[in-house]
């Protein structure tokens, strides 16, 4: 189970039901967005959740609405951060 899922379950178990955003960090040089399984469980709670992906330098590298990452056309195009970036929104 990934940290993003655990964070969501922990928040829900403590009564936080209005999930607005999730942040993803990594010490890796490559930026790591939410995986498909984690995005799916966040979809059940709030499809409009904002996803913030931070780089190794702790700066926001990507911000996108969860619902926009579920677009099948986007997933089929390329499963890379480049596509995510091209679809990123200004939140």
Regarding 3 and contact with Zn ion (CB under 5 A), the answer is: no
Among 35, 48, 78, 89, binds Zn ion (CB under 5 A): 35
Minimum separation from the CB atom of position 1 to Zn ion (A): 8
In angstroms, the CA 80 to CA 33 distance is 9
3-state secondary structure 19-80: CCEEEECCCCCCCCCCCHHHHHHHHHHCCCCEEEEECCCCCEEEEEEHHHHCCHHHHHHCCC
End-to-end alpha-carbon separation of the chain, Å? 28
Regarding 79 and contact with Zn ion (CB under 5 A), the answer is: no
Regarding 2 and contact with Zn ion (CB under 5 A), the answer is: yes
Which residue, 27 or 90, is less far from Zn ion as judged by CB? 27
Which residue, 15 or 68, is less far from Zn ion as judged by CB? 68
Number of amino acids touching Zn ion (CB under 5 A): 3
Among 38, 53, 62, 88, binds Zn ion (CB under 5 A): 38
């Amino acid at each position: 189970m990934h940290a993003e899922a655990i964070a969501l379950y922990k928040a829900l178990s403590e009564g936080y039901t209005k999930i607005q955003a999730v942040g993803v960090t990594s010490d890796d040089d490559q930026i790591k967005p939410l995986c498909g399984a984690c995005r799916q469980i966040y979809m059940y709670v709030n499809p409009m959740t904002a996803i913030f992906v931070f780089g190794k330098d702790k700066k926001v590298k990507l911000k996108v609405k969860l619902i926009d990452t579920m677009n099948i056309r986007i997933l089929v195009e390329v499963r890379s951060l480049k596509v995510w970036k091209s679809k990123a929104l200004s939140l």
